[in-house]
Amino acid sequence: MSRREMLRLGGMGAAGLGLPGLLQAEAASSSARFSGRAKNCIYIFLCGGPSQLDMWDMKPDAPSEVRGPFKPISTNVSGMQISELLPRTARHADKMCIIRSMRHTNPNHDVGILYTLLSTMRPPNNRAYPPTRQDHPGIGAALTNLMGAPGELPAWVTLPRHFTTGSRFYKGQTGGFLGPAYDSFALNEEKTDSLGSKDLQVTALDPTDGISQERLQSRAGLLDRLDAYSDEVLGGPMIDQTRAYREKAFSMLSSDRAKKAFDLNRESPKLRDRYGRNEYGQSFLMARRLIESGVRMANVFWTFYGKDGCQFNLWDNHGSDKEVCGGFNKGFDMITAPYCCPSFDVAYSALLDDLSLRGLLDETLVVVLGEFGRTPKINKNAGRDHWPNAYSIVLAGGGVKGGQIYGATDKHAAQVTEDPVTPDDLGATIYHAFGIPPDTLIHDQQGRSILLTQGTPVTKIFG
């Protein structure tokens, strides 16, 4: 047998497991130890560009074509207001830091997504897809590489599916130059036409069709015998790594702990209702379960409503008749429409409350963001277009001081006037929450040293 064939047989493919390569992340270097408050992260991406003017940075004194139809409401923090579309979230403002001064330079979805998921405005090129092994690793991959991985569970999980549009799989969801061992693990739930009442069904832990537990154990025995041969003939660290990766895959398939972590039926119906009985609300709840079980990072991509992808994207509302939500003057009602802010308000407020009550918020950094914001002036279709010049994101937990607003914009939320923050700075801030300095080096598969981030962490927002 050739060396290549031996390694192939020693891999998970020979066992019929069909699990993503990130299960190999157990071998991540964990020699470095960091002392940040954050131990894990829930990263919520509102794909398409949520409007800062209609959610987080209200301008009630601006002209009607700028301020839009929604009014600001008070929160549980004196002097801090957000949109009337987020009444439940307003009761948790004391846990939140709203950064109103995010900005970058590109209004294109793909480039904005690239900047955001890779946390850099200086990628090797501005191609958001397809991912390659020359890419900078996604945040979850870098955290796993630097801090190690949980025992039986994947270190980085994406819910409810990887971020794709059509056949396009966006960068920032893989281990990049760290290798496939650090790619994210996704449920890859089938897209639905609406929020609906569809529950998450976790089948990714099931063996390939036709592979029973008995056959699985039989194949494990075969691989053990192959191991004995490979030790004698080949040996070396590569064989040791292959064995460790495979053992993790078998462990996860047979682990009650891993399966319980993905089992939403173990939560009370009342709590599941509290998060919202739709795939995004249930994904928020799943994220909480996963980080509680030791997963380092859970990404939630709030993206699709239609089978064709972004045409029915809530957060990318230009006001066209073709869009589910329509425009501000076309019967569009974000207060009652099930596709819009109310579903996020329910899920996000439940997540903050749940994490806080369980004593998890202090060590869990929760990030809510999009790739940019929306134009200050409502367009001719009664919607808003792309606007990277000034937009808002929200951080909570993980050592971030709640009840504060960082940065500011002008009277139309058009330009940043105080404390600008770039995608590079945001990435550095996330790493800072974990105690990882911005000048930290990571190493590719050839052993070359590469700077983790070129951003400057926003240290003032931490308590």
Q: Are 364 and 39 in contact (CB under 8 A)?
A: yes
Within a 13 Å sphere around the CA of 411, how many CA atoms are in the beta-carbon half?
5
The answer to whether residue 2 scores a pLDDT higher than 50 is no
Which residue from 119, 109, 28 is spatially nearest to 442, judged by alpha carbons? 28
Instruction: Give the DSSP letter string of 187-223.
Output: --PPP-SSSTTPPP---TTSPSTT--HHHHHHHHHHH
The answer to whether residue 307 scores a pLDDT higher than 50 is no
The answer to whether residue 212 scores a pLDDT higher than 90 is no
Q: Are 445 and 426 in contact (CB under 8 A)?
A: no
Report pLDDT for 309: 33
Average pLDDT over residues 446-451: 93
Report pLDDT for 21: 40
Fold of 32-205+262-461: Alkaline Phosphatase, subunit A (3.40.720)
DSSP state of 136: P
> Assign residue 359 a region: left if phi > 0, alpha if psi is -120 to 50, beta otherwise?
left
Most confident of the following: 120-129, 260-269, 305-314, 422-431: 422-431
Compute the distance between CA of residue 416 and CA of residue 408 in angstroms, rounded to an integer: 6
Compute the distance between CA of residue 97 and CA of residue 37 in angstroms, rounded to an integer: 16
pLDDT tens-digit readout, 316-369: 778 765 554 555 654 444 444 444 688 899 999 999 999 999 999 999 999 999
Tell me if residue 75 falls in helix, strand or coil.
coil
The answer to whether residue 40 scores a pLDDT higher than 50 is yes
Q: Residues with Cβ < 8 Å from 242, sequence gap 6 or more?
A: 7, 10, 11
pLDDT tens-digit readout, 269-298: 999 999 988 888 999 999 999 999 999 999
* Neighbouring-strand partners of residue 406: 99
Compute the distance between CA of residue 260 and CA of residue 448 in angstroms, rounded to an integer: 39
Q: What does the domain layout of the chain look like in residue ranges? A: 32-205+262-461
Token pair 């929760």: residue: 366
Report pLDDT for 188: 73
Report pLDDT for 255: 67
The answer to whether residue 311 scores a pLDDT higher than 50 is no
Strands 404-406 and 408-409: unpaired
Report pLDDT for 201: 63
Which residue from 216, 214, 213, 282 is spatially nearest to 246, judged by alpha carbons? 216
Report pLDDT for 256: 75
Query: By mean pLDDT, which of 152-156, 218-222, 407-411, 429-433 is the weakest?
Result: 218-222
Report pLDDT for 175: 94
Within a 13 Å sphere around the CA of 104, how many CA atoms are in the beta-carbon half?
26
Report pLDDT for 224: 57
What rounded mean pLDDT belongs to the chain?
81
Strands 81-83 and 297-302: unpaired
The answer to whether residue 204 scores a pLDDT higher than 90 is no
Provide the residue type at 63 as one letter.
P
Percent pLDDT > 90 in the chain is 57
Strands 156-159 and 297-302: parallel
Q: How confident is the model at residue 17 (pLDDT cuts 50, 70, 90)?
A: very low
Task: Encode 218-237: b = buried (16+ Cβ within 10 Å), e = exposed.
Answer: ebeeebeebbeebeeeeeee
pLDDT tens-digit readout, 362-394: 999 999 999 999 999 999 888 899 999 999 999
